[in-house]
Amino acid sequence: MKRYAIPRLMTKLLLPLILLFALYVQFHGDFGAGGGFQAGVIFGAGFILYALIFGLDSAQKLMPHWLLRIGVPLGVLIYASVGIAGLLMGGNYLDYGALDPHNPPHGHHLGILLIELGVGITVSSVMVTIFYAFAGRGR
Amino acid sequence: MSAPLSFLFRPGRAAWLFATATCWLTLLMAILLLRQVLAEGPISYPMGSWPVPWGIEYRVDILNAYMLVLVAAISAVVMSFAQLIVERRIRLPEHKQPWFYTAYLLCMTGLLGITITGDAFNVFVFLEISSLSSYVLISIGRDRRALTAAYQYLIMGTIGATFILISIGLMYVMTGTLNMADLAARLPAVAHTRTIHAAFAFLTVGVGLKLALFPLHLWLPNAYAYAPSVVTAFLAATATKVAIYVLLRFFFTIFGPQFSFETMPLDLILLPLALIGVFSASLVAIFQDNIKRMLAYSSVAQIGYMILGISFVSVTGLTASISHLFNHALMKGTLFMALGCVSFRIGSTQLERMAGLGQSMPWTMGAFVIGGLSLIGVPLTAGFISKWYLILGALEKGWWPVAVLILLTSLMAVIYIWRVVEVAYFKPAPEGQIVREAPLALLIPTWTLALANLYFGLETSFNAGVARQAAEMLLGVAP
Amino acid sequence: MQILGLYNYWIFIVLMMCGFYVVISRGNLVKKLVGLNIFQTSVFILYISMGKIFGGTAPIVINQPDVVYSNPIPHVLILTAIVVGIATTSLGLALVVRINEAYGTIEEDEIHAQDQEEAL
């Protein structure tokens, strides 16, 4: 793929847009259609596209293995700790309302945002990890 | 119940310590939960404070508190056993060992989740969590056939799970709810429709695949035989048991015994299947040369006993099933862990390689014999209790041929356990073979379970007593 | 008319049977996985079609009084099921890759033949 100018150029043009769109889907999730799952997949797909065009090595420079290793459990931990935070504030597990006792809707916003962030991190790391695992196998 | 933490530990040992601590802590919580349920009745816990019929509810009553204790106890003991095996036998490189513990904890989380949840769809999600991680665990085995076994299990398991998914979907269409208690309240109104009948059929087949009910058991022997012995001990003692729990929960709590056994002639289907399963699996087990495989077939037979108990649709029969769940987990755990010790020292579980082990590894083989006696159902062991209830249940119904068959298959169990004992104790060890006793780190957990076999054979208030209460609750009989 | 009106359920059944047939009949492990995927996807169609309410919009709260929303719960459920499906597929493919490395083939009967030879 290294020799073809058009795919490389298009990727360079598209990649920031894809990542930006992923972030939009991520953070707009509590008002409209979207959320962590979708955003994570879009984000991961952006990286996979990059790896396809510029080769696995340069992609791994951009998104090294150790980062993914941390990313996968980190997202789940964010999710769980938001749940436990609700527990500590006196509500039930995953009780968003308890996050901000004076203003439950605000607590809901905060809770959803953090949860979706956790989901997004995990999903995108998992997607890229799966891709690396398969692509790195034959060598 | 947070598994991912263990992933963060780089060296294998720290991850193991952490995972073991988690398991024992879970066991402690499960026991406390059971005590509370026994004292105060069912506990309900809405996730995220959403009101119950809409939000996901965790609901704990006697039956699943009992199952929670079982799963947590087995996973705690097996986890204590795992470390040496993972390091020396499976020979995972240092940096990959946390993966093993992560998969193990995920599997445990899934199993606990299935038991604790009060939401039908959540059952599916947790089922998939536990089965996906169990595919990984099985494929870790060093034999390359472990890979194909895991693949087969993956195909079968996914088909089963998808069937369960279809069935939950159909129920949702008819009732508009996913909460188990709510489903149970609304199903009778639509029970006559064909949609619900189809849902019931899909569910039976789907769960049947998961629990290796007789004609659907083909994945099980391979998966158990080629998986590492830690994994086999864990899965044999918990995974199929939880699937039986799902079956009980859906048949009795959600559909209700009346629908399951009067509208749909389920007992007439389950009874012959269970009998054929017990009989043929025991027969096949007699002719196996690999002991792990032999025990795997005997697992299929034992599952047959549990289904048999369900098909009696009486308190005694159900008590037999539920206490057999517990006892079988104990004895199969003991047997597979003893085998783990054997393969740790001699590197094989082939029957002919075990000659003379009775002298060289007396403690290991001692545990094996106790497990075996319990499997046969000799008095004073845990296995006797559930067999006793099973036969009582059969006689209560007046089905004495069934009782005779149960005794006959117990005799078959005598034969296949005896083959091992004979080779291990009465055949001289081959020349020049020096085998040492298994290390203490393996022996202690194995003997914990072996002694539990004896203890629960004498002190029956926990396994049979609680099982009886659970059975009464399922059938809706006032205790 | 009713039979035609329920066409999405017919598609569900046809797809499900196609997928199931592929899983059973093919010996190639990758093709089996493809079949399994079709089988799972058909169930997604079942769920999505039961969430549809005629005239309903996407279930996002907008400030208008009498809007009919589609039922969002099946969508949520199926999102979860899709994720599960992805996990299953990737795990299955990973197993196939390792089987290919261990046996040098992904045809079921050839693998079986190799196992038989080894046993003898």
B4 lies within 8 A of chain A by CB: yes
Residues of chain A with Cβ-Cβ distance to B48 below 8 Å are: 86, 92-96
Contact B47 A93 (CB under 8 A): yes
The whole-angstrom distance between B167's CA and the closest CA on chain C is: 10
Could you tell me the pLDDT band of residue B7, with boundaries at 50, 70 and 90?
A: very low
Residues of chain B with Cβ-Cβ distance to A72 below 8 Å are: 4, 7
Asked whether the predicted pLDDT for residue B478 surpasses 50, the reply is: no
Residue A31 makes CB contacts below 8 A (sequence gap 6+) with C60
The whole-angstrom distance between B199's CA and the closest CA on chain A is: 29
Task: Go through chain C and tell me how many residues it has.
Answer: 120
What tokens appear for C107 in the block? 């045809």
* Residue B139: predicted pLDDT: 82
**57-86 in A: which are within 8 Å (CB) of B?**
69-70, 72-73, 76-77, 80, 86
Residues of chain B with Cβ-Cβ distance to C59 below 8 Å are: none
Contact A93 B48 (CB under 8 A): yes
Return the C-alpha torsion angle C109, C114, C115, C120, nearest 10.
130
The whole-angstrom distance between C61's CA and the closest CA on chain A is: 8
* Residue B307: predicted pLDDT: 84
Phi and psi at residue B42, to the nearest 5°: -55, 145
Q: What is the CATH number of the domain that holds C10?
A: 1.10.287.3510
With CA atoms as reference, report the closest residue to B320 among B282, B263, B377, B251.
B377
The whole-angstrom distance between B419's CA and the closest CA on chain C is: 22
- How many cross-chain Cβ pairs, B to C, lie less than 8 Å apart? 67
Contact A72 B7 (CB under 8 A): yes
With CA atoms as reference, report the closest residue to A108 among B30, A116, B323.
A116
With CA atoms as reference, report the closest residue to B229 among B109, B335, B365, B70.
B335
How many Cβ atoms from other residues are within 10 Å of residue B428's Cβ? 8
Contact C93 A133 (CB under 8 A): no
Cα–Cα separations (whole angstroms), residue B479 to B33, B459, B470: 20, 21, 9
Asked whether the predicted pLDDT for residue B13 surpasses 60, the reply is: no
Q: Identify the top-confidence range among A105-114, B356-365, B451-460, C75-84.
A: C75-84
Tens-place pLDDT, residues B401-411? 788 888 888 88
Asked whether the predicted pLDDT for residue C45 surpasses 50, the reply is: yes
Measured distance CA(C3)–CA(C18) in Å, rounded: 20
Question: Which chain B residue has its CA at the smallest distance from A75's CA?
Answer: B4
The ipTM (two decimal places) reads: 0.84
Measured distance CA(B305)–CA(B25) in Å, rounded: 32
Q: Is A11 left (phi over 0), alpha (psi -120 to 50) or beta?
A: alpha
Which residue's entry shows tokens 């590492």? B228
What tokens appear for B95 in the block? 């940096």
Q: pTM for the full model? A: 0.82
**Residue in B4, B7, B49 nearest the CB of A91:** B49
What tokens appear for B203 in the block? 């569910």
The whole-angstrom distance between A66's CA and the closest CA on chain B is: 11
Residues of chain A with Cβ-Cβ distance to C97 below 8 Å are: 134, 137
Measured distance CA(B354)–CA(B274) in Å, rounded: 32
Asked whether the predicted pLDDT for residue B319 surpasses 70, the reply is: yes
Write out the residue range of the structural domain in which residue A121 sits: 5-135
Cα–Cα separations (whole angstroms), residue B96 to A66, B101, B157, B234, C95: 14, 9, 26, 20, 17
Could you tell me the pLDDT band of residue B230, with boundaries at 50, 70 and 90?
A: confident
Measured distance CA(A109)–CA(B282) in Å, rounded: 58
- How many cross-chain Cβ pairs, A to C, lie less than 8 Å apart? 12
Number of domains observed in the structure of chain A:
1
Measured distance CA(B157)–CA(B409) in Å, rounded: 28
Measured distance CA(B247)–CA(B65) in Å, rounded: 16
B198 lies within 8 A of chain C by CB: no
Measured distance CA(B137)–CA(B124) in Å, rounded: 20
Number of domains observed in the structure of chain C:
1
Asked whether the predicted pLDDT for residue B430 surpasses 70, the reply is: no
